[in-house]
Structures are given as C-alpha cells and as structure tokens.
Amino acid sequence: MTVERDGSLTLRVPPRCDPVRAERFVAGSEVWLADKVRRREEHPPAHPVRAFREGESFFYLGREYRLLVDDLADHEAKASPGTVKLVAGRLVLSENLAKDPRTARRAVIGWYRRTGLRWAASRLQPWAARLGVPEPAVRVRDVGNRWGTYRQSTSDPGTMALHWAIFQLPSHLVDYVIAHELAHIKLSGHGPGYWKLLRTAMPECEERRAELDDLGRRLWLGDVVDGKP
C-alpha cells in the first residue's frame, strides 16, 4: 500500500486476492494512514515555478546550476531544437528557447530525460547485482505521482520507468529510487519481506526514504510562470 504524492492511496494485491481480505488490510492500516496524512499536512508540497530567466537555479544530481540565457547558442538551437547543455558550471539555454516558458520547459525536461537516462544506465548493474535481479530496460519520463515504476514482462526482465524530476536530487537518492524499483522484480508491494530485501542491498533505505519524502516535495515538476503545462 502506497500513499502517492497527490495524497491518493494505491493498494497492490495479488491477482486472485479476496476483496474482503484487501478491505480488512486497509482497515487494519488506519493508524499508519493517519500518520501519513498528518505528515503530509505538516509538510505540504512546495514545488517551485520556473520563468527561465538569467541566473535562475536548476539542480542536477543535487548540485545547483545557474541558468545562462545565451544568444550565442541560438545557432546551435536552430540546428538542434531543444538544445540545453551544462557548460562551465552553468545550465545554458538559448535566448530563442527562453522567450517562451512552455518551449523552454520542454527543452529543459528533455535535457533531464537524456542526461538522466545515461546516468541511470550506469547505476543499474551495481544495484541489480546487489539485489540478485536481472537488469530491466530503463525509461526516463513523466510517471505522474510516483518517482518510479516497474512493469513486469513474461518474456524479458521488464521495464523500469524513472521520473525525470528525480535527477534534481542528490545521487544517493536517485540510487534509492533505482534500488527501490529493482526490488520489485522479486517482490511486489511494500510488505515486510520487501523492505527486508531492500535493506540487504541498501541498509540505510529507511533514512533515504525519509530524505526523499522531504526533498521530493520541493522539486521542480515542470510548472512555469504562465501556469500552463
């Protein structure tokens, strides 16, 4: 059972689970759910809004990069629309792209997806080895109210999808999300057996989970100044 970032509740059960048993499980989790609701009320989401102005802060793997709006990059953007780069400690966006917040949003999110995918691919093997699971295919995209998902397959190790926004977090928290999803290859749900498995690969997983809950509520999720997605 998972309380999603929007406050909704997701309960995953085996295919032939008795509905009555599932209802009893939810009813028996009343204290746990009340604690989750209390924490959310005490620490509401505070996701920032971006305007893509010179000097604005963006984060990649926990490090802050100031935005550089550079008209000299326009020729490169015309040749390769959506071009965003890290150059000398600055996140460089062409002036042409920065003029429209929605266009800039697509370009920057595209950059997070590309660079995040390369980074995640390099981290998959070590965590899969620790958990004793095969390496699934990896995608980086918007996965809604979750930081990651894992989808099983009968013909291959399945597919892991990671939210592009997690690559703003420090690397050890991205590792946590990756390990968290890899553990689902062996065990679905978040019962005691699941957490025991995850702790074998990442003994500090509870601490990292709490840190993710705290930092995650302050990540940029794509909101821009004109209020349009």
Q: How far is CA 124 from CA 70, 107, 133, 160, 162, in A?
A: 35, 26, 10, 10, 12
CB atoms inside a 10 Å sphere around CB 99: 11
With CA atoms as reference, report the closest residue to 182 among 225, 222, 142, 126: 126
Residue 28: band (very low, low, confident or very high) from pLDDT cuts 50, 70, 90:
low
Give the integer Cα–Cα distance in Å for 153 and 130: 21
Residue 225 lies in a domain: no
The confidence score (pLDDT) of residue 18 equals 72
H or E segment at 229?
none
pLDDT tens column, 169-206: 999 999 999 999 999 999 988 889 999 999 999 999 99
pLDDT (mean) for 166-170: 98
Residue 228 lies in a domain: no
| Domain at 49, CATH number | 3.30.2010.10
Higher-scoring residue by pLDDT: 153, 120? 120
The CA-to-CA distance between both ends of the chain, in Å, stands at 29
Residue 138 lies in a domain: yes
Residues 158, 69, single domain; the answer is yes
Q: How far is CA 187 from CA 1, 163, 192, in A?
A: 13, 21, 10
With CA atoms as reference, report the closest residue to 74 among 50, 107, 49, 113: 107
Is the distance from CB of 36 to CB of 12 less than 8 angstroms?
no
Give the integer Cα–Cα distance in Å for 49 and 158: 34
Higher-scoring residue by pLDDT: 132, 25? 132
H or E segment at 220?
none
Residues 30, 52, single domain; the answer is no
Give the integer Cα–Cα distance in Å for 207 and 128: 20
Q: Report the predicted TM-score, pTM, of the whole model to 2 decimal places.
A: 0.81
Residue 223 lies in a domain: no
Residues 19, 75, single domain; the answer is no
Residue 224 lies in a domain: no
Residues 9, 39, single domain; the answer is yes
Residues 129, 26, single domain; the answer is no
Radius of gyration of the chain (CA): 20
pLDDT tens column, 85-144: 999 999 999 988 999 999 999 999 999 999 999 999 999 999 999 999 999 999 999 999
Is the distance from CB of 134 to CB of 128 less than 8 angstroms?
yes
**Residue whose entry in the numeric block shows the structure tokens 């966006």:** 93
Give the integer Cα–Cα distance in Å for 136 and 121: 10
Residue range of the domain that includes 180:
45-216
